[in-house]
Amino acid sequence: MTSEKKHERFMRSALAEARKSIGQTSPNPAVGAVLVVGNRIVARGHHRRAGSPHAEIECLRSFRRKIPKNATLYVTLEPCSTTGRTSACTNQILRAGVKSVVIGATDPNPRHRGRGLQILGDAGIKVRAGVLAEECAALNESFNKWIATGIPFVIAKCGMSLDGRLTRPEGEPRWITSATARRHTQTLRGQTDAILIGAETLRIDNPRLTVRGRGQVPQPMRVVMTRSGKLPQNARLFTDRFAKNSFVYCKMPLGVVLAELGQKKITSVMIEGGGDLLGHALDERLIDKVQIYVAPILTGGPIVAFGGRGAHRTHDGARLERVSFEKIGTDICVTGYPKYDRGERG
């Protein structure tokens, strides 16, 4: 096995550790680490939640012995070099006596990027960075945007018919997508800091906007945007046991709301409707990712999935990149990242 293949093999193990905590660590990134001696993993660790030891520290502590000179620490993200709720990981790596460190992605924070690498290198540690860098960075796409811009990563999610409707004709059952697809969305909710809807969605659907069937996971903040401020006070969002998690923004532009949520350390926001809000987010080029469940039905319902002004020309439309398709029950889940060719993004 070549050296490169070996590094990739063990970095994939570190990535598997990091994935254990997706959705649990906000506003921190999900990070995984493994300690390797020879060709064998002797310790593993992942960052479990904000305030708990970081992945590399958990990994080193779990070894419980003196670190051998031929040991290599693999970590999916550049070790932090600043003290926050926990001490700097670079300092603890040095104290542990690690002589070789392999890193996936560099720190996305422009103020700190590369500092951890330099500290370790200056101390005589052999450092290699950029192993499976794209995969490691993609693991924390929400954190990466928020830490660099202060604005949450925005996901547009909806379930729609083949003709692009969010609703059935009046008097028909509420749901368009299958129960399997609706259960699938719980995974996405469990990885998101906040869910955003418009006032009309609250009035018509009276949604819970909670994570269900996923065990003990953090519940997302629930955000309602309204022009009039006239909302049903008996709605589930204001009366259930998570009511303190619900917030209302009245007569505020979407971009301003997102900026305020970013200041509250919300790293990701999922817009779940309705059509006007989704369309407005698209018009303003505020959407970073879409996850759309398409049901094999033509409804002709009154509410279009993405309303708003729309593109004046086909060339001006937001085309998706890195598109993937997954069959979920009877529905198709389309995931992609809009590319905005004209103008500046919001």
Query: Per this entry, what is the length of the chain?
Result: 346
Q: Which amino acid is at 202?
A: L
Two tokens at 44? 């593993």
Q: Can you list the positions of beta strands (E) in the chain?
A: 32-37, 40-46, 71-77, 100-105, 126-129, 153-161, 194-198, 221-226, 246-250, 268-273, 289-295, 319-328, 331-339
Contact at 8 Å (CB) between 290 and 278?
A: no
- Sign of the Cα pseudo-torsion (5, 56, 27, 328, in order): positive
- Cis (ω within 30 of 0) for the bond into 274? yes
Contact at 8 Å (CB) between 34 and 59?
A: yes
- Sign of the Cα pseudo-torsion (269, 113, 115, 9, in order): positive
Q: Which of 259, 193, 260 is nearest to 50 (CA)?
A: 193
56 is catalytic: yes
Three-state secondary structure call for residue 46 = strand
Contact at 8 Å (CB) between 274 and 197?
A: yes
Other Cβ atoms closer than 10 A to 177: 25
Other Cβ atoms closer than 10 A to 195: 28
Find the catalytic residue in 56, 78, 141, 272: 56
Residues tagged active-site:
56
